[in-house]
């Protein structure tokens, strides 16, 4: 999607290893989000950021940490990956202005933990 990229697009990792997913935006939006999507659960918010070094937890934050040292980058880290973290991860951005406040999503990262 224009203005937002996720990397890597696909990753296979072993249980117990650390994994970092990157979300990069060129829109200078204030808000950034990490969601995971699993069959039967829809999209669930993991963490979000409302500015550089300002982050907060979502509904499924256990086992995940995030960092935002620059406006354009939002990193999601699995400190010790587990099979339950096999999922598709989506990043989203939002400028937070006005009534629109709609989100723009990235193309997703498919993570498999074996």
Determine which residue in the list 17, 28, 82, 101 makes contact with other proteins, applying CB under 8 A: 101
Stretch of residues binding other proteins (CB under 8 A), selected from 11-19, 66-74, 76-84, 97-105: 97-105
Task: Give the C-alpha separation, 14 to 105, whole Å.
Answer: 27
Task: Give the C-alpha separation, 113 to 83, whole Å.
Answer: 5
Max Cα-Cα span within the chain? 43
Does 31 help bind other proteins (rule: CB under 8 A)? yes
Does 107 help bind other proteins (rule: CB under 8 A)? yes
Instruction: Sort strands 42-51 and 31-38 into parallel, antiparallel or unpaired.
Output: antiparallel
56-85: contacts with other proteins (CB under 8 A):
56, 58
Cβ nearer to other proteins, comparing 86 with 103: 103
CB 89 within 8 A of CB 108: yes
Does 36 help bind other proteins (rule: CB under 8 A)? no
Give Cβ neighbours of residue 19 (< 8 Å, ≥ 6 apart): 11, 13, 77, 78, 81, 111, 113
Does 54 help bind other proteins (rule: CB under 8 A)? no
Determine which residue in the list 2, 14, 62, 100 makes contact with other proteins, applying CB under 8 A: 100
Contacts with other proteins, residue ranges (CB under 8 A): 1, 30-31, 33, 35, 42-45, 48, 50, 56, 58, 88, 90, 92, 94, 96, 98-108
């Amino acid at each position: 999607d224009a203005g937002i990229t996720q990397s890597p697009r696909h990753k296979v990792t072993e249980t117990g290893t650390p994994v970092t997913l990157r979300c990069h935006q060129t829109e200078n939006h204030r808000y950034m989000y990490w969601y995971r999507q699993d069959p039967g659960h829809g999209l669930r918010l993991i963490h979000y950021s409302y500015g550089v070094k300002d982050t907060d937890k979502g509904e499924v934050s256990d086992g995940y940490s995030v960092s935002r040292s620059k406006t354009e980058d939002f990193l999601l880290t699995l400190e010790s990956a587990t099979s339950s973290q096999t999922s598709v991860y989506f990043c989203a951005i939002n400028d937070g202005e006005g009534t629109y406040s709609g989100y723009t999503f990235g193309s997703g990262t498919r993570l498999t933990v074996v």
